[in-house]
Amino acid sequence: MKKTLATVACSLALIMSVPVIGSNTKLGQIGVDVVSAATGDTTPSKTDTKPSTSTSTSTKTNTSTKTSTSSKTTTSVQTASEVKRLLAFGSYGSDVKLVQTKLNENGYKLKVDGIFGKLTQAAVKSYQSKNGLKADGIVGPKTLAKLIPAKPAISKANTAQVETAIKLGKAEFAAHGTKCFTVAIVAMAGDKIADVIIDDYQVMAKDGTVAVPNSDADFGTNLDSAKVLASKLANAESYTKNMKEKGGAALTVSQNFNAIQVFATGKTIAQLEAILKTNSKDPKVDAVTSATLADTNGYLAAIIQAAKNANGNRAIKIDAAALKTLNLGKVEAKAHGTKCYTLATVAVAGGKIVGAMIDDYQVMAKDGTVAVPNSDADFGKNFPEGKVLASKLANADSYIKNMKEKGGATLTVNQNFNGIETFVIGKTIAELDAVIKTNSSDPKVDAVTSATLADTNGYLNALAAAAKEAGGKIVTHKGDLTVSTANYNLIDTKVEGNIIFTTQAAKDTFQMNNGSSVTGSKILAQVDAVTTASIVDNAAAFEKAISKDGTWIPAIVRDLTINKELVLDGEFKNTKNPPVVQRKIALYAQDDKRNVTHRFTLTAPKLTIKSPNASIQKGIFKGDLYVTTTDFQLVDMKIQGNIFFTSQAAKDGFKMDATSSVTGKQEVIK
């Protein structure tokens, strides 16, 4: 709007100047000026550069100067601020030098003497002709706009740094079954989730488990001597090994958690709530988050609660550049005595701590205590009768009442924690480490943090450790990562494998930050855009897809090994018009032009084909096929095993194309 108004003002000023210039006695030069003014490219009279001694001319010159002052103000908006008048043959001065310099930058070879002579005029005409301007040899607004483009006006709004408020929130939640409780921690940037950490805490066998701090001290005496409380993330490998043996888990617990965390990042609370409303109890889980956990919805609900809890917490403003580097870090620590363990969380952005949270978890008397989730279920059975595990922050009022009675505490636990958290915000890790080194065993505590806790240094150490965790947080995803949802962001993750996209939209909208890397390829595994195949990447999902309750095209997007006998069962119809009975196992990926981009291997001891008009296409099957139907086909397949037919009719009706092969026998069995 301002540019339009400026242009109109300029045009009015120039039009108003025409009659004044037209009355000038130097009409030969001014005749050109009048024409130029009408076309928007005006030139001053020589009177502007050489004032006349005549009184009447002087009056006209003053009038002309007034008009040209008005026009030069407008002209400077559209052209270089250094040129504040119109230049033509006979003009001289520093502005002419500038024009000569700019012409030389465009290939001309003028003497930069500040005199607008014939050579300068010829160069101007040549430049105008080459740039689609009227070649009149006069340097007016249009010529200046090309030769010396105006620098756009920079408003305060453009230069002001855009800052975003960062808030941290935490929630304990019953997200996954009854044997553990979940802690979800969220960093909010405005109304969007900037980073997330989720973790489960479960009582596990002591041997080979990384327990929470103080499990070998007073805190640990609350549990059976052969058991400890532990973080699943701290025990990701051993926990996942156990889950693979018991339930055929396809991904590690850290990979699953990371998939959910990445999915939630960048979304608002309202967006996540809308997803939960449409996400059924888990058929859509893989497509939504790429996680293979049974209770993904529970974890998303925990994240939503943590995000809501952040709303009432302190806000720290950071600029856009720092926001891009924001990371959360979490540690369990031994910060305060032996009866509890501390959960310390830090948000680091731009090399500085921009958010901090601390909480202690301690076993307390059940009566009047807000216990962690599932304390009334299997998780709670691990603790003595009448006792529960609880967060001190969730029980701030009752806990501080007890502390005042026993130890004369002067501040509430949340006031003390808040003092320590506030102290670390704005500091680098090095600065925090330096404070800890110079802070003695607590005489300086109040002066440093305003807290009155006996173990402030312990909390500072815990926060420093969490900050270091945030600063170097790169999650490793071992194996292929399947992405089915649009706008998926890979954040601080190393994928040791391929990224497989199940739709073109997922591939086109995928993003990864500078902290992420992929060792393999980015593969489009679009099986059939028309048929909406059942795309799976784990054993349990594949078994369901090939069952009577599956779909007409079960398709895998990674190599699968399933150590049990499989059955392709049920009668299905394809999506043709009219529909035809058909079943297809797709062991391949293709692009939007239906070119095969990747072939996958399915391994199982036995696969029985019961579905009519079935086929397996464009991959490798390692194992034996048992065929009961009379119309089974192989299309571009490699069978590393035998094909056994349950009848002669099944063998006679079997077909395989020229690109298919079978390493073993093909025979009828009875």
Please give, one letter per residue, the 3-state secondary structure of 24-68.
CCCHHHHHHHHHHHHHCCCCCCHHHCCCCCCHHHHHHHHHHHHHH
**How does pLDDT run across 252-264, given as a tens digit for each residue?**
788 888 889 988 9
* Mean pLDDT value across residues 454-472: 85
The answer to which of 63-72, 142-151, 232-241, 526-535 has the lowest mean pLDDT is 63-72
Classify each residue of 500-512 as buried b or exposed e, where b means 16 or more C-beta atoms within 10 Å of its C-beta: bbbbeebbeebeb
pLDDT value at 475 more than 50: yes
Which of 224-238, 302-316, 498-512 shows the lowest mean pLDDT across its residues? 498-512
CA distances from 224 to 171, 219, 379, 466 (A): 27, 11, 13, 29
Cross-strand bridge partners of residue 268: 192
Residue-wise DSSP of 523-577: EE-B--TTTT-EEE-SHHHHHHHTSTTS-S-EEESS-EE--S-EEE-S--B-SSS
- Interhelix angle 94-105/118-130, rounded to 10 degrees, is 50
Q: Of 57, 124, 52, 48, give the one whose Cα is nearest residue 93.
A: 48
Mean pLDDT of 194-205: 96
CB 176 within 8 A of CB 302: no
- Which of the pair, 509 or 644, is modelled with greater confidence? 644
Residues 6+ apart with CB under 8 A from 579: 573
Model pLDDT, residue 67? 35
Mean pLDDT of 261-279: 89
pLDDT digits (tens, 9 = 90+) for 577-606: 888 999 999 998 877 677 888 899 999 999
Distance between CA atoms of residues 396 and 275, nearest Å: 34
The model's pLDDT over 333-351, given as tens digits with 9 standing for 90+, comes to 999 889 999 999 999 988 8
Element housing 336 (H / E) = none
Token output for 617: 């296409």
* Contact partners, residue 119, CB within 8 Å, separation at least 6: 110, 111
Q: How confident is the model at residue 280 (pLDDT cuts 50, 70, 90)?
A: low
The mean per-residue pLDDT over the stretch 63-73 comes to 34
What the block records as the tokens of 380 is 């709670």
Please list, in sequence order, all residues whose beta carbon lies within 8 angstroms of the beta carbon of residue 537, skipping any fewer than 6 positions away: 250, 286, 292, 480, 482, 500, 556, 557, 558, 560
Which region holds residue 224: left if phi is over 0, alpha if psi is between -120 and 50, else beta?
A: beta
Taken as a whole, the chain contains a residue count of: 670
Q: Given pLDDT bands bounded at 50, 70 and 90, which one contains residue 454?
A: low
The residue type of 323 is L
pTM attached to this predicted model: 0.55
CA triple 425-428-429, angle to 5 deg: 105
Which has the higher per-residue pLDDT, 387 or 251?
A: 387
User: Does position 455 have pLDDT exceeding 60, yes or no?
Assistant: yes
Phi, psi of 200 (to 5 degrees): -105, 145
Go through the domains of the chain in sequence order and give each one's CATH number: 2-147 (1.10.101.10), 164-471 (no CATH), 475-524 (no CATH), 534-668 (no CATH)
**Phi, psi angle pair for 133, to nearest 5°:** -105, 165
Residue of higher predicted confidence among 45 and 453: 453
CA-CA-CA-CA torsion sign (283, 288, 292, 297): negative
Q: Is-cis flag, bond preceding 578, omega within 30?
A: yes
Q: Report the C-alpha dihedral over residues 618, 619, 622, 624, rounded to 10 degrees.
A: -10
Cα–Cα distance between 274 and 276 in angstroms, integer? 5
